[in-house]
Amino acid sequence: MISNKTRSLFTLVAYNHKKNKNSLRILLGAFERSELYQKSRIVLYDTKTDLVNGLGGLIHGQAPVFLLISLHTIQIRETARLLAQLRARHGRTFMAIGGGPQASGDPHRTLELGFDYLVRGEAEQTLSLLIESLLNGRAPEHIQGIVYRVGSEIRDTGFSVPVCLDDYPPFAADLRLYGYIEISRGCPHGCSYCQTPRVFGTRQRHRTLDLVLDHVLFLHKRGLGTYRFLTPNALTYGSTDGRTPNIETVEMLLAKTREIIGPVKKLYYGSFPSEIRPELISPGVIRMLKKYIDNDNLIIGAQSGSQRILDLAHRHHTVEQVVQAVRWIREAGLKANVDFIVGFPDETETDWNETRTCMENLLKAGARIHAHFLIPLPQTIYVQNPPRLLPDRVRQYLNLKASHGQLFGQWQTQERLSLGLIEYFQTGKIAS
């Protein structure tokens, strides 16, 4: 449990789930900048058990308790169970506020999981406005980006207004919740399976370089040993259109970061948690990255080896660009991890054969395959046109390559989750 131990007008409880830590850091970092922060007591729980057992001790007197839960679509079932358990034990003695990609993309069904309010879209400003309104006894109908119920009617005020990243820090300094430094948000590509442009917009926004470096310096002074940057595309930081690489700005970011943190601390870029689009890779780009980074690999998003599937998914690159990118990465002495998605509903036997051939070519070049199963996410076409079970020949191939250490990923777990989500989107029932 983490707490700021402040004398409070209200208590803000957050479920610090490992899959949602980064979004929570950003959200609470913004909350620390609000006037409400000095009036609040903030308590974080890392596990479901601690939250269920600890919440009761916070519900006392007249001070309201707000519970924050951010969730991805794959967390629907566990979130529903958690809220049901909390309601069974504590009733309506706390207000549950939900956010994250699932709440933003499918708010009305998400509200039915047991939430009192949802924040739809970016929450840095909206959360404070919502809590202030509730503390003053006002309905949040005047706040853009809120979903809630009045009797049997659901009120939905639409998406929140996109924020300026420079106005908010990328972590919660007072609570010492440090992590990745978000440098860009939004994506112009609009890949058919991805929620990013549908939640954060198609115009890529950037945090100003000087401010990013201020945050690096802050973390360096506090002894952070590893530095990673969060962006939809590692080579378009500073780009005006989010498509054209801005190598000069990227190199300035890396060079100045290395200057601040010195040669011993670790700097990762182009690997987890941010990948590189294959069409932006070149020998010059790789040479530039190697001057500064500590990661021994670069992550490339291929998604399919069939050009037809790539075009249907609006990927805006070719199969050959993927293969060439891997060749250049390997020639430079780095490892190449290549993302592929299986389970596309429109994939034919010919498409799969082309994907398998592409995988084989990449493996011969020394790459590793990171396999994902297509997950139907809200606001994407795959809610209405869902993925299908993998044919035996595909499953056997993936298992074979995994047994040889050439392929990794949670595609089998994701396949099971996807089948449950299909039922949920079609019937509203949560699979057991």
> By mean pLDDT, which of 6-15, 136-145, 241-250, 365-374 is the weakest?
6-15
pLDDT given for residue 5 in this prediction? 54
What percentage of the chain carries pLDDT values higher than 70? 97
pLDDT given for residue 3 in this prediction? 55
Segment 14-69, tens digit of pLDDT: 999 999 999 999 999 999 999 999 999 999 999 999 999 999 888 876 789 999 99
pLDDT score of 7 more than 70 = no
Burial class (CB in 10 A: 0-12, 13-18, 19+), 347: buried
Residues in the chain: 432
Domain ranges for the chain, please list them.
Answer: 2-156, 180-295, 296-432
CB neighbours of 275 closer than 8 A, spacing ≥ 6? 233, 234, 299, 300, 301, 339
Give bridge partners of residue 181 from the DSSP assignment.
229
Helix pair 319-331, 283-290: axis angle to 10 deg: 40
Segment 187-231, tens digit of pLDDT: 999 999 999 998 999 999 999 999 999 999 999 999 999 999 999
Rg (CA), the chain: 22
Q: In angstroms, rounded to a whole number, what is the distance separating the alpha carbons of residues 67 and 69? A: 7
pTM: 0.93
> By mean pLDDT, which of 54-58, 268-272, 336-340 is the weakest?
54-58
Better-predicted residue by pLDDT, 28 or 419: 28
Q: In angstroms, rounded to a whole number, what is the distance separating the alpha carbons of residues 310 and 390? A: 18
pLDDT score of 112 more than 90 = yes
pLDDT score of 119 more than 60 = yes
pLDDT given for residue 246 in this prediction? 95
pLDDT given for residue 59 in this prediction? 83
Pick the CATH number of 296-432 from 3.30.750.200, 3.90.650.10, 3.40.30.10, 3.30.420.40: 3.30.750.200
Please indicate whether the domains covering 2-156 and 180-295 agree at the CATH topology level. no
Q: Superfamily for 2-156?
A: Response regulator (3.40.50.2300)
Pick the CATH number of 180-295 from 3.30.450.70, 3.30.750.210, 3.40.50.10330, 3.40.50.620: 3.30.750.210
pLDDT given for residue 292 in this prediction? 98
Dihedral sign of CA atoms 253, 369, 374, 117 in order? negative
